[in-house]
Structure 1
Amino acid sequence: MQTINRTQLFRASCLSLLVTSLSFGIRAGILNDQGVRFHLNGSQLGTIAATAFWGFPLAIIIGGIVVDIIGMKKLLVSAFVFHLAGILLTIFANGYWTLFLSTLMIGIANGTVEASCNPLVASLYTDNKTTKLNHFHLWFPAGLVISTLIVFGLDSLLAHGVSPKPYWISQLAIATMLIPTLIYGFLFSRLQFPVTERVSAGVSTSDMYKSLMNPLLLFMIICMFGTAITELFTNQWTDVLFKTVTNNAILILTFVASVQVLGRAFAGPIVHRLAPQGVLLISAILSALGIYMMIHLHGDAIYFAAVVFGLGIAFFWPCMIGFVAENLPRTGAVGLNLIGGAGMFGVSIYMIFMGGRYDAIMTQKLPGGANLDAYRSAGAGTEMAKAFDAARSAAGPEVLNTTLIIPLALIVAFAGLVLYMRTKKKTMSFDATTV
C-alpha cells in the first residue's frame, strides 16, 4: 500500500493554489485589455470578474459537503480538468459570453482547490494548523507577484511603444498558467491521500452539521464577507482603480502581494504570540490605514501605502480559516469551506455592485448626458479621452472610500472577538464542548 507523503502533498497543494492565484493576478492585469478588445463597459467587466467569485463559492461549498464522501483526490483531479478547460477557453475567447463562461470554469476550479486543500493541510498538520495554512496560502500572493511580473514583463518586452497593444500578448499571459496546471494535475493523480481530520477523529457527520449552527461560526462567516472584500476586491480592481494614478498601476498589486508573501512566510511566531483573533484585529487596523493612504497619497508614495495595505491583508484569509480549524474543529471540512465560500460570495456581489457604481460615478463626472461608451473608446490624446481619464481619476478614490467602511467595521468586530476569546479558559478540541 502506498504511504502518505505529506511533504509532496503539501507541495502539490501549494502548486494548485499558485494556479488559482495566477488566474486572479493575470486577469487583473489584462482586465482593461479585455474591455478594449471586446468593447466592454465597467459593469460588464465587473460581472466577468465577479463570475470567478460565483464559481468559487459554488464549488467550495459543494466540495466541502462531498469531500468526505468521494475523497480529496477526486476533487483535486476535477479541479485540474476545470482549470485546463477554463484557461483554454479564455485564450480563445471571442466576446463577453466566452469570457463569462471561461471565468466561471476557472472559478469552479479555484473553489474546488480550496475545498480540498484547506482540510488537507489541516489534516496533514493537526498540531500546527494556522501556521501551515499561512504557509500554504502564501502561494496566493506569490502567484499575484509572479502574474503581475508576467503581465508587466510581456507588456515591456513585446508591446513597448505599441498602441494599441496586441491582444495576443494577453493570450500569451493566460497561456503561462498551463505549465503549473499540468504539473499539479500529474502530481495529485499519483499521490495517496489521507482522510480528513474530522473523519480521523471519529466525529460523526450529524455532529458536524449540528456544529455548523454554532453562533461563533456564523459570526466568523459574516466577518469573512468583510475580510475577503477588503483583500480581493481591491487587488482584483487595482489596474482599473489606479490606472490614472501611475503608469504602472499593476505594480501596486505586486507591492501588496510581495508583502503578503513575506507576512505569511513568517506567520508562525506572530500567530503563536497573538493567536489568530489578535492577528485579525491588527490586520483590520492596517487594512483600513492602507486604503486611506492609497486614497490620499500620490506619486511614488502610493507604493508605501500599498506596503501598509499588504501588511493588513496578509493574514486575513489563512487566519480566518485557521481560527475555525483551531476553535471549531467539529465543523470539519464543511465549516472551513463555508468560511471560504462566504468570502468569495461576498466579493462577487460587491464586485457587481461596485462595477455599476464605478460607471455611475464616471457618468456624473463627464459632461451632461455623456455617452460613457463613446468616451471610453475615444482616441488617445483627444479631448474626450482626457475627460475620460479625469473621470476615472475621480471615480477610483470614491470607490475606495466606500470600501474603507468595511475594514473600519472589522476593527470593531475583531476587537469584540479578542475580548470574547479571552473569557475562554481552554482551546476548543474534538473532545471539548464547542464554543
Structure 2
Amino acid sequence: MPNIQTNKLFWASCMALLVTSLSFGIRAGMMGQLANEFQLNATQLGTITATAFWGFPLAIIIGGFIVDAVGMKRLLVAAFVFHLAGIALTIFAQGYWSLFLSTLLIGIANGTVEAACNPLVATLFPENKTTKLNHFHLWFPGGIVIGTLVVTLFVKVGLSWQWQVAAMLLPTLVYGFLFSRLDFPKTERVTSGYSTSDMYRAVLSPLFIFMFICMFGTAITELFTGQWIGLLLKNVTDNALLLLTLTTGIMVIGRAFAEPVVHKLAPQGVLLLSAIFAASGLYMLSTLTGSSIFLAAIVFGIGVCYFWPTMIGFVAENIPGSGALGLNLMGGAGMFAVSIYTVFMGSFYDKLIVKHLPAGADLKVYSKASEGSLLAQDLNEAKNMAGPEILQATLVIPLILVLAFTGLLLYMRSRKIRAAKSLHAI
C-alpha cells in the first residue's frame, strides 16, 4: 500500500507533467496567432514546434545517464528553472529566434521532468509499473485539453497569446514548491542491485532495440498529429482545435482506466490494439468531413491513448535491468523522431500547398494576401487539400506498427510458453 510520502511524490510528478503538457496544448492552440503576428510560414512554424522536441530528447537522454548519480530531486530543480526561463522568454518574444530559443528551453525542461519522473513512478510502484505510468501520463493529454480550452477561452475574451503562455506559471510554481519539500528514494535499478554494466547490456539487447525503434513510430503517430491537427484540418472543419481537445479527452479517460485493460491484454496486446485503432482513426481523419470527423477523432484518441506510457511500462516490466537509462532512452527516441518528422513535414506541407496553387505561384505572396481576396481563397483551398494529404502520408507509420506489434505479441507469448516449460521441467 503506498504511503503518504509516495502519494505526495506521485502527485507532484503529475503536476510537473501538467506543465509539460500545457506547453504543448497552449502552443498548439496559438500556432495561428504566432504565424500572423510574426509572419511565419509553415516551415518556420514546423521548425519552432520541432525545437521543443529537440530539447526534450537532449534533456531526457542526458538525464537518463546522470539521474542515478545526481538524484531525481536535482533534475527536477533544473526542470523548474528551465520552465520559468522558457515561459518568460516566450512571453517577451520578439520574433522567430526568440520563439526558437524559448521553445528549446521549454523542451529541455519537459525532457528533464520525464527524465526524473518516469523512473520515479516506476520506483514508487514496482508491482504495478505500467498501470501507474498510464495514470501518471494521463496528465499529458489532460494538460493538452486544459491548454486548448485556455487558448479558446482567452481568444474569446480578447486576451493575447502572451496571457495564454503566462497561464503556465502557476502550476510551474506549485510543482517547484512541492518537490523542494519532499525526500526522494534512490532509483529502482540501484535498489534492485543491477550494476551499471547490467544496465548497458540491457539497453543493447535485441528486445530493447526493437522497442526503441517502435517508439519512433508511436511517438510520431501521437504527437505529430496532435501538434498539427488544428493547422492541417482548420479548413476542413470550423472546430479543428476542438478535435485535439476531443482526442486528448479520450486519452485522459483511457489512461485513467488503464488497469483492467493492461491486466487483461498485457502491455504487448494493448500496443497491438492501439496501433490498429490509431491507423483506422488517422485514415478517417484524412478522408471524412463534417460532423463525422469527430468520430474519427474519437477512434484516433483510443488508438494513441496507451502508446507512450505502455511503451515505457513494457520496458520497465520486461527489461528492468535497463533502469532509468532505458526508460529515458525510450522517451528521447520518441521526441527525437517527432522533431525530425515535424521539420520534414512542415517543408512537405508548404510544397503540397504550392502544388495545389496556380502554376508559378509564390507562397509568400499568397500568405500576405488580405482575407477575403481571391488569393486568400485560393490559398485556403490549397490548404484544404494539402492537410489531409499530410495525414495520409503519416498513415503508413501506424500500419507498420500493426505488423511490428503482432510480431511482439507472438514473441512474448512464445517466451511465456518456454518459461512455463522450463519451470515445469524443474
Shorter chain as denominator, the TM-score bin is over 0.9
The correspondence of residues 273-312 of structure 1 with structure 2, limited to 5 A, is 273-312=264-303
| Unaligned segments of structure 1, at least 5 residues | 159-167
* Residues 244 and 393 in structure 1, CA contact (< 8 A), matched pair in contact too: yes
Query: Who is 2:106 aligned against?
Result: 106
Residue 382 of structure 1 and its aligned partner are, at CA, apart by 0.4
Give, in whole Å, the separation in 2 of the partners of 1:73 and 1:4.
18
Q: Using a 3 Å threshold, how does the CA distance of structure 1 residues 245 and 218 change in structure 2: closer, same or farther?
A: same
* Residues 4 and 193 in structure 1, CA contact (< 8 A), matched pair in contact too: no
Residue 427 of structure 1 and its aligned partner are, at CA, apart by 11
Query: Who is 2:404 aligned against?
Result: 413
Q: TM-score, normalised by structure 1?
A: 0.95
Query: Who is 1:84 aligned against?
Result: 84
> Which of 239, 243, 252 is equivalent to 1:261?
252
* Residues 221 and 338 in structure 1, CA contact (< 8 A), matched pair in contact too: yes
Give, in whole Å, the separation in 2 of the partners of 1:369 and 1:87.
41
Residue 4 of structure 1 and its aligned partner are, at CA, apart by 7.6
> Which of 324, 339, 353 is equivalent to 1:333?
324
1:375 is aligned to 2:366: yes
RMSD: 1.3
Query: Who is 1:173 aligned against?
Result: 164
Query: Who is 1:164 aligned against?
Result: none
Higher deviation after alignment, 172-181 or 367-376: 367-376
Give, in whole Å, the separation in 2 of the partners of 1:275 and 1:210.
25
1:116 is aligned to 2:107: no
* Residues 56 and 112 in structure 1, CA contact (< 8 A), matched pair in contact too: yes
Residue 237 of structure 1 and its aligned partner are, at CA, apart by 0.4
Query: Who is 1:404 aligned against?
Result: 395
Give, in whole Å, the separation in 2 of the partners of 1:201 and 1:191.
22
| Unaligned segments of structure 2, at least 5 residues | none
Helix, strand or coil at the partner of 1:231: helix
The correspondence of residues 94-243 of structure 1 with structure 2, limited to 5 A, is 94-158=94-158, 169-243=160-234
Aligned residues: 418
Instruction: Give the number of the structure whose residues are more often helix, by fraction.
Output: 2
Residue 426 of structure 1 and its aligned partner are, at CA, apart by 7.6
* Residues 327 and 427 in structure 1, CA contact (< 8 A), matched pair in contact too: no
Query: Who is 1:28 aligned against?
Result: 28
* Residues 4 and 194 in structure 1, CA contact (< 8 A), matched pair in contact too: no
Query: Who is 1:361 aligned against?
Result: 352
Residue 169 of structure 1 and its aligned partner are, at CA, apart by 1.4
* Residues 280 and 319 in structure 1, CA contact (< 8 A), matched pair in contact too: yes
Give, in whole Å, the separation in 1 of the partners of 2:90 and 2:292.
35
Q: Structure 2: which amino acid aligns with 1:254? A: T
Divergent runs of 4+, >2 A: 425-428
Residue 206 of structure 1 and its aligned partner are, at CA, apart by 1.6
Give, in whole Å, the separation in 2 of the partners of 1:32 and 1:156.
15
* Residues 4 and 191 in structure 1, CA contact (< 8 A), matched pair in contact too: no
Q: Using a 3 Å threshold, how does the CA distance of structure 1 residues 376 and 363 change in structure 2: closer, same or farther?
A: same
Helix, strand or coil at the partner of 2:84: helix
Q: Structure 1: which amino acid aligns with 2:160? A: I
Helix, strand or coil at the partner of 1:362: helix
Give, in whole Å, the separation in 2 of the partners of 1:400 and 1:203.
43
* Residues 4 and 192 in structure 1, CA contact (< 8 A), matched pair in contact too: no
Q: Structure 2: which amino acid aligns with 1:330? A: G
* Residues 358 and 399 in structure 1, CA contact (< 8 A), matched pair in contact too: yes
Residue 157 of structure 1 and its aligned partner are, at CA, apart by 2.4
Q: TM-score, normalised by structure 2?
A: 0.96
Give, in whole Å, the separation in 2 of the partners of 1:49 and 1:332.
30
Query: Who is 1:165 aligned against?
Result: none
Residue 425 of structure 1 and its aligned partner are, at CA, apart by 2.7
Give, in whole Å, the separation in 2 of the partners of 1:426 and 1:119.
30
Residue 82 of structure 1 and its aligned partner are, at CA, apart by 0.3
Query: Who is 1:93 aligned against?
Result: 93
Q: Using a 3 Å threshold, how does the CA distance of structure 1 residues 29 and 388 change in structure 2: closer, same or farther?
A: same
Residue 390 of structure 1 and its aligned partner are, at CA, apart by 0.2
Helix, strand or coil at the partner of 1:389: helix
Query: Who is 2:64 aligned against?
Result: 64
Residue 224 of structure 1 and its aligned partner are, at CA, apart by 0.3
Query: Who is 1:75 aligned against?
Result: 75
Q: Structure 2: which amino acid aligns with 1:225? A: F
Give, in whole Å, the separation in 1 of the partners of 2:161 and 2:395.
31
Helix, strand or coil at the partner of 2:395: helix
* Residues 86 and 105 in structure 1, CA contact (< 8 A), matched pair in contact too: yes
Residue 368 of structure 1 and its aligned partner are, at CA, apart by 1.5
